[in-house]
Structure 1
Amino acid sequence: MRELNLDQLRTLVTIADLGTFAAAARALHLAPPTVSLHIGELESRLGASLLERGSRGVRLTAPGGVLVERGRQLLKEADATLEQVRRVAEGRAGKVRLGTSTGVLVHLLPQVLERLARAVADVEVDVVILGSGETMARLQARTLDLGIVALPQAGSPGLDVQPWRSDPMMAFLPPRWTDVPASVTPAWLADRPLVANDASTLMHRLTAGWFGEAGLQPRARIELNYTEAMKSLVAAGYGAAVLPMEWLDEVPADVARLQMRPLDPPLTRHLGLAHRPRALLDAATAEVLRVLLDFTPAAVGAGAGSA
């Protein structure tokens, strides 16, 4: 037996539902001879009569009844398959691999994913916690689709980096420290024990540059590459840290117990979105990128840089 033709199967099911060839032809927007041809070809393929014609319309034979019953399920699955393909093609479904840092993951990404779930519920975002350098490398190797990276980034062939958002850097201080100034200068902070970002990170270089402009090179008591662990050490009184203020509205509970002061001179951490050129993005990745760009307007100044 040759494969079933779904159009012919849909014609048979419609006749069974409406009772006549003429009604099926109108419902399917087919010429009456085409409806007759569909049924004739189905019967020829199956070697069985599917319909019995009478003065009051048609009724299914036993083989016809079996085929209609199974055909409804086949047509339902075919329609669902086509809809899924359309959703993927339009960016309403699919999987996107996103690389980001721990700070972004904790304070920003959950809000982004919430908005994404409302906009495109069937797009699955696989999040990988990485530093900016590793994120860029994996984007280059095509094992990631999108990355949230610190700026500036060196140019990477085949990748675009666009500004996303800017966050003020703040001094995070132990809650029990006294005589804390209204704003923190490099000289004041350099005399205190410090918890710093790992030397391999752009955040470390940004903070070191802030001290360096004042002619200072303080040594940290410990260097980490995990923002939340740094805040925990600050809360325990181990030292102070210079970190970005990444939340949007309420101060998170883990931060509210710390003292925070603006820096003098001010310092800003800039983030960008790294990805392949838009023309090469699949629809799901392009949709996640759109949601990220709509999430908050980028306010990156001239010093942010781009790839």
Structure 2
Amino acid sequence: MREISLDRLRTLVTIADHGSFAEAARVLHLAAPTVTLHIQELEERVGAPLLSRKRGEVVPTAIGETLLAKARRLLTDAGQALDDVQRQVQGLEGRVRLGASTGAIAHLLPKALEVLGRDHPAIDVQVAVLTSQDTLVRLAQGSLDVGLVALPQSAIAGLVIKPWRRDPVVALMPASWPCPAVVTPRWLAGRPLILNDASTRLSRLTSEWFAAAGQQPVPRIELNYNDAIRSLVAAGYGAALLPNEGDASATQEPRTVVRPLRPALWRRLGIAHAKQVARATQHVLDVLGELNGRRENG
């Protein structure tokens, strides 16, 4: 069965609005025979007359009125669909799917999302809590647009992975402990520890930090949720190694203290995305870079 062309419906609506084949041809920038052909094709498809002449004016028949009502809605919907797509192409609106760890979502994204909401209110950022590896897999599959991932990462075909920021890793300890001014691997290895689990890049970093000093401590518990780790430290359960992301949350808890590490340890983050991105995604990348980026030598 042949489908009805939107161009034919637009011709019918224009004739009905202006009451004239000739005026419709002028408005649509079509030759008069083309306008006549459009109506003939519609009438053949419907199987009934759609227009009639009354007192020198072209008016719809009863069947024509029914089709006109449907045609107007279809043309409006089609026009709105094109406008919506064009707004996305222009970066005025759209959906951006972003993957990141709980820590990055809690402490690094809020300001960026605030700026995006102010400057690009029609861009919907959908955030998923993911490990770096899951984020990269989904980016490669095309089910994510932007990812905040721990560095370093191996190159992945089709993806751009670039440095974004680095944050110092610090020791978070119960305030009741007698804590030195600077924490070393040897001192910390002898205390109860709450560390990130093996699914995280931070787990590898801290293991290497201890190993470089000849230490291999066994933690009391391993977690992948930094806020839970902070709560356990505040309860006196043990000490933790966490990135200092520039927020005040770690120092606002009176039951904990924060100390720098010696040797220093850094958690590096990168931004990952496809090589070609939509404009809405580029807006997100621009805001992330402007607000939260720290150079590797910063």
Inter-partner Cα distance in structure 2 for 1:10 and 1:205: 64
Q: TM-score, normalised by structure 1?
A: 0.76
Distance in 2 of aligned mates of 1:20 and 1:141: 54
Letter in 1 for 2:271: L
Q: What's 1:165 paired with?
A: 165
Checking the alignment, whether the CA contact within 8 Å between 1:93 and 1:120 is kept in structure 2 is no
The alignment status of 1:129 with 2:130, answered yes or no, reads yes
Correspondent of 1:271 among 269, 272, 276: 269
Q: Any unmatched runs of 5+ in structure 2? A: none
1:4 counterpart SS class: coil
Query: CA 1:261/1:26 → structure 2, altered by over 3 Å: closer, same or farther?
Result: farther
Q: From the superposition, tell whether residues 286 and 25 of structure 1 become closer, same or farther in structure 2 (CA, over 3 Å).
A: same
Contact 1:123 1:284 in 2 (8 A): no
CA distance 1:255–1:30, shift in 2 (3 Å): farther
Which structure 2 residues correspond to residues 47-196 of structure 1 after superposition, within 5 A? 47-54=47-54, 57-86=57-86, 92-94=93-95, 96=97, 98-116=98-116, 119=120, 121=122, 123=124, 125=126, 127-130=128-131, 132-139=132-139, 144-177=144-177, 179-196=178-195
Q: Per-residue deviation at 1:273?
A: 2.3
SS at match of 1:207: helix
**Which residue number in structure 1 is paired with residue 260 of structure 2?**
262
Counterparts of 2:27 and 2:263, CA distance in 1: 73
CA deviation map 1:158-208 (0-9, x unaligned):
54321122222222222444x545544445434433221224532123223
Give the match for residue 13 of structure 2: 13
Q: In structure 2, what is the equivalent of residue 224 of structure 1?
A: 223
Residue 151 (structure 1) shift: 0.9
Identity value in percent: 51
How far did 1:61 drift?
2.0
**CA RMSD, Structure 1 to Structure 2 (Å):** 3.5
SS across alignment from 1:77: helix
> In the TM superposition, what is the alpha-carbon distance from 1:240 to its structure 2 partner?
1.6
The residue that corresponds to 1:245 in the other structure is 244
Taking a change above 3 Å as real, the CA distance of residues 90 and 220 of structure 1, as seen in their structure-2 partners, is same
2:21 and 2:144 mapped to 1: Cα distance? 54
Q: Distance in 1 between matches of 2:272 and 2:77?
A: 38
Structure 1's consecutive aligned runs of 4 or more residues displaced over 6 angstroms after TM superposition are none
Q: 1:293 to 1:64 in 2, by over 3 A?
A: same
Q: Secondary structure at the match of 1:270?
A: strand
Partner Cα distance (2:79, 2:65) in 1: 21
SS of the residue corresponding to residue 59 of structure 1 reads: strand
Structure 1 gaps, min length 5: 303-307
Task: State how far apart, in whole Å, the 2-side matches of 1:200 and 1:65 are.
Answer: 65
The CA distance in 2 between the partners of 1:301 and 1:207, in whole Å, is 21
Cα distance per residue 1:126-172 (max 9 Å; x no partner): 51422x34444555566655432211123445543211222222222
Deviation for aligned residue 1:269: 0.9
Contact 2:196 2:222 in 1 (8 A): yes
**Partner residue in 2 for 1:235:** 234
SS in 2 for 1:161: strand
